[in-house]
Chains A and B, each alone.
Chain A
């Protein structure tokens, strides 16, 4: 899996958009970008994933640069419940074997009132 680099922490204001960057400059052509988050001591939660096109779901939007070396997760209207550690993970999408998630170096996001 390609190495990803994220800021250690960031604050954002409640009600504002939160933009979380992720660098994955060594990503290979068949690796997807996945985002998970972990609210304190809860199980990680899937947010969104993408290969090269921008993606949007009910939780967030994912913007992937054209060269795929970086991406940004956007939480459109951050709430206090979005306070969590956000993980950007690059990995291939395989059948059952090899679908493990490698968590590391996430961004601790604190949403402030």
Chain B
């Protein structure tokens, strides 16, 4: 069965650079969620989209922005990267109101 696809899987950036993370949800899933997991921490919700509209927002820095496109894939744009942005970034998808969120394998971002 198709799963959530995230790209790239690994990304290394310098401080103050920008990064774009991509997420391709499971076919027919209309809701996408982004989570950030710092080293040794639990995943933290950043933002979610339903039918291309932002549906909820968590502790996402102003330097980050995200959107969901007409094909339902989503991109997380991160600017002015800081060392503290080094983390695993997970994308999850679900059907509207679905009980189960399906998580992708994550993108490991390292900021040097």
Contact = CB atoms under 8 A, between A and B. Distances in A.
B44 interface: yes
Given A101-B45, A104-B42, A46 B100 contact: yes
Given A43-B105, A46-B102, A96-B30, A103 B44 contact: yes
Most chain B Cβ neighbours within 10 Å, of A41, A44, A49, A98:
A44
Nearest to A32: B99
A49 to B, nearest CB: 5
Main secondary structure of the interface of A (DSSP, over half): loop
Interface residues of B, number: 30
Contact of A41 (B44, B92, B106): B106
A43 B99 CA distance: 16
The 7 nearest A-B residue pairs measured at CB: A43-B103, A96-B50, A103-B42, A97-B55, A46-B100, A100-B45, A95-B97
